[in-house]
Copies of this chain bind each other. A is one copy, B any other.
Amino acid sequence: MAESAIGVGLIGCGTVGGGVAKLLREQADLYAQRIGRPIVLRRLLDKEKDRVIQSGLADANIVTDDVDSFFDTPDMQVVIELAGGTGAASVFVRRALEAGKHIVTANKALLAEQGPELFALARKHNASIAFEASCGGGIPCVTALMFGLMANRIDALYGILNGTCNYILTEMTGKGKTYDKALADAQELGYAEADPTLDVTGGDTAHKIAILASLAFGVKITGDQVPAWGVDKLDLKDLNFGAELGYDIKLLAIAERQQDAGTVSVGVEPCFIHKSELLAQVGGAFNALSVYGHAVGHTLYYGAGAGQMPTASAVVADLMNIAAGWYPKAFESMRLTPDLHEPAKLADPDSLQSRYYLRINAMDQPGVIAQATAALGDKGISLSAVLQHETNAGSYVPVVIVTHKASRGDLLEAVKRIESMDAIEGPPVIIRIVDLPD
Query: Residues on A close to B: CB < 8 A?
Result: 19, 23, 27, 30-31, 33-36, 132, 138-140, 143-144, 147-153, 218, 278, 281-282, 293, 295-304, 309-310, 312-317, 319-321, 324-327, 329-330, 333-336
Instruction: Report Cα–Cα, A139/B297, bound state, in Å.
Output: 10
Instruction: Report Cα–Cα, A149/B137, bound state, in Å.
Output: 12
Evaluate contact between A334 and B330: CB separation under 8 angstroms. Answer: no
Contact pick for A150, options B149, B302, B312, B321, CB 8 Å:
B321
Evaluate contact between B140 and A148: CB separation under 8 angstroms. Answer: yes
| With known contacts A36-B335, A140-B299, A335-B33, A147–B150 Cβ distance under 8 A | no
Evaluate contact between B301 and A301: CB separation under 8 angstroms. Answer: yes
- Return the chain B residue nearest A295 by Cβ: B313
Evaluate contact between A334 and B299: CB separation under 8 angstroms. Answer: no
Which residues in B have their C-beta under 8 angstroms from that of A327? 326
Evaluate contact between A149 and B140: CB separation under 8 angstroms. Answer: yes
| With known contacts A132-B148, A335-B34, A296–B300 Cβ distance under 8 A | no
Which residues in B have their C-beta under 8 angstroms from that of A281? 278, 281
Evaluate contact between A147 and B149: CB separation under 8 angstroms. Answer: no
| With known contacts A296-B309, A303-B300, A320–B150 Cβ distance under 8 A | yes
What would 16 A/B residue contacts be, using CB atoms closer than 8 Å? A19-B295, A23-B151, A34-B150, A138-B296, A139-B296, A143-B143, A143-B148, A144-B144, A147-B321, A148-B317, A296-B314, A297-B304, A301-B301, A326-B329, A326-B334, A329-B329
Instruction: Report Cα–Cα, A298/B144, bound state, in Å.
Output: 17
Known: A36-B335, A140-B144, A278-B302. 13 other contacts (CB 8 A): A19-B295, A33-B335, A138-B296, A140-B147, A150-B317, A151-B317, A278-B281, A297-B304, A299-B301, A324-B330, A325-B329, A325-B333, A326-B326
- Return the chain B residue nearest A280 by Cβ: B281
Which residues in B have their C-beta under 8 angstroms from that of A140? 143-144, 147-149, 299
Contact pick for A313, options B278, B296, B333, CB 8 Å:
B296
Evaluate contact between A326 and B316: CB separation under 8 angstroms. Answer: no
- Return the chain B residue nearest A300 by Cβ: B302
Which residues in B have their C-beta under 8 angstroms from that of A144? 140, 143-144, 148
Which residues in B have their C-beta under 8 angstroms from that of A278? 278, 281-282, 302
Evaluate contact between B299 and A138: CB separation under 8 angstroms. Answer: yes
- Return the chain B residue nearest A336 by Cβ: B34
Instruction: Report Cα–Cα, A425/B31, bound state, in Å.
Output: 55
Which residues in B have their C-beta under 8 angstroms from that of A132? 148
Instruction: Report Cα–Cα, A132/B151, bound state, in Å.
Output: 12
Instruction: Report Cα–Cα, A36/B334, bound state, in Å.
Output: 7
- Return the chain B residue nearest A327 by Cβ: B326
Instruction: Report Cα–Cα, A23/B152, bound state, in Å.
Output: 9
Which residues in B have their C-beta under 8 angstroms from that of A324? 329-330, 333-334
Contact pick for A297, options B35, B36, B310, B321, CB 8 Å:
B310
Q: How far is the CB of A408 from chain B (nearest CB, A)?
A: 30
Q: How far is the CB of A134 from chain B (nearest CB, A)?
A: 14
Evaluate contact between B149 and A313: CB separation under 8 angstroms. Answer: yes
Evaluate contact between B151 and A31: CB separation under 8 angstroms. Answer: yes
Instruction: Report Cα–Cα, A300/B305, bound state, in Å.
Output: 12
Q: How far is the CB of A290 from chain B (nearest CB, A)?
A: 9
| With known contacts A23-B151, A140-B149, A151-B316, A310–B296 Cβ distance under 8 A | yes
- Return the chain B residue nearest A31 by Cβ: B151
Evaluate contact between A296 and B302: CB separation under 8 angstroms. Answer: no
Instruction: Report Cα–Cα, A282/B34, bound state, in Å.
Output: 32
Instruction: Report Cα–Cα, A191/B365, bound state, in Å.
Output: 56
Contact pick for A36, options B31, B35, B333, CB 8 Å:
B333
Which residues in B have their C-beta under 8 angstroms from that of A139? 296, 299
